[in-house]
Amino acid sequence: MTVTLFTHPDCLAHDPGPGHPERPERLRAILAALDAPDFATLDRREAPLADAAALRRAHSPAYVEAIFAAAPPPGTRVTLDPDTHMSAGSLDAARRAAGGAMAAVDAVLSGAARHAFVATRPPGHHAEPGQAMGFCLFNSVVVAALHARAAHGIARVAVIDFDVHHGNGTQAMAWDDADLFYGSTHQMPCYPGTGAAEERGAFGTVLNEPLPPGAGGATFRAAFDAVLDGMRAFGPELVLVSAGFDAHRDDPLASLMLDETDFAWAAGRLIEVSGGHLVSVLEGGYDLDALAASVAAYLRVIIAQDAEHG
Ligand SMILES: [Zn+2]
């Protein structure tokens, strides 16, 4: 079969401002790494624009309307929260990020691809139903999960999140949804402050495995396996991944001690438990070299598994 990569040049035009860690160079570094011969078999596709109706499955109509109206003129920026800003290109970038995640779901569920990776920005897992937050405008992975249910007749979807930050927005969207599982490993204490083990959701579909600052690969792997055990008990028909690579030891925004081999291991475990298809959506990762090497290591495992199965 194939592994499909969704990205779009519009995602380089989201400019949150000078010195902001969530910068266009992140995506450039990833795409440069994926120019290596190891990745020649990737089926490369343009991420489409998500429309307002799709975004309204995860966000309030008033919020979607406000973000569509907030895009500022070229050369200016608007601030949505202390960390989250929009430039002229931000709306289309965020719509491509959500649209890429939806297209990735379509690709694996239609049989066009075995697995898919969505290399877009801005990230999404901090975006709340009615509020931009933590560099995120639209919660792409939840938009994709709810698209899978609306368009493909799937009932139960899981989102697994190994970004170093807790996905407060994804948790908020899963909280009252018995058919949406959210499982996360993340550093605690750390931004945004949510994600304690006691936070389980109204139907027990939230599972948090917080990690102490300084935790390394062995601690991460045990916690990640616990998240996957919880996911298996839930019994999803589709597994989406909030793939953030800022738990890397070189990342400037947090202090976990993972390296590329841990992300490669996570890819292998996710494939084992996902029931055949894996859709991974880029979230964080702010050291350019570590980010590029980690995405490459993660994708190498996914490509090799696809090749093995013909
Ligand atoms: Zn993060």
What residues have their beta carbon closer than 5 A to ion ligand 1?
163, 165, 244, 246, 284
pLDDT of residue 130: 98
pLDDT given at position 310: 77
Please give, one letter per residue, the 3-state secondary structure of 90-142.
Answer: HHHHHHHHHHHHHHHHHHHHCCCCCEEEECCCCCCCCCECCECECCECCCHHH
Q: Which residues are catalytic?
A: 126
In sequence order, the 6+-apart residues with CB closer than 8 A to the CB of 18 are none
Query: For residue 22, which amino acid is it?
Result: E
Whether a cis peptide bond, with omega within 30° of 0, leads into 24 is: no
Distance 167 CA to ligand 1 centre (A): 8
Terminal-to-terminal C-alpha distance of the chain = 6
CATH number of the domain where residue 181 is located: 3.40.800.20
CA-CA distance, 241 to 231, in Å (whole number)?
12
Distance CA 22, CA 122 (A): 7
For residue 244, report the distance from its CA to the centre of ligand 1, in Å: 6
Specify the DSSP element, H or E, that contains 6: strand 3-7
Report the separation in Å between the CA atom of 200 and the middle of ligand 1, taken as the mean of its atom positions.
Answer: 21
Write down the pTM of the prediction: 0.98
Query: How many domains, in total, are found in the chain?
Result: 1
Question: d(Cα 11, Cα 15) in Å, to the nearest integer?
Answer: 9
> Which region, left, alpha or beta, applies to residue 235 given φ > 0 means left and ψ of -120 to 50 means alpha?
left
**Per-position pLDDT tens, the chain of length 310:** 899 999 999 999 999 999 999 999 999 999 999 999 999 999 999 999 999 999 999 999 999 999 999 999 999 999 999 999 999 999 999 999 999 999 999 999 999 999 999 999 999 999 999 999 999 999 999 999 999 999 999 999 999 999 999 999 999 999 999 999 999 999 999 999 999 999 999 999 999 999 999 999 999 999 999 999 999 999 999 999 999 999 999 999 999 999 999 999 999 999 999 988 999 999 999 999 999 999 999 999 999 999 998 7
CA distance 147 to 33: 30
The Å distance, Cα 241 to ligand 1 centre, comes to 13
Ligand 1 centre from 247 Cα, in Å?
8
Domain residues for the domain of 183 are 3-308
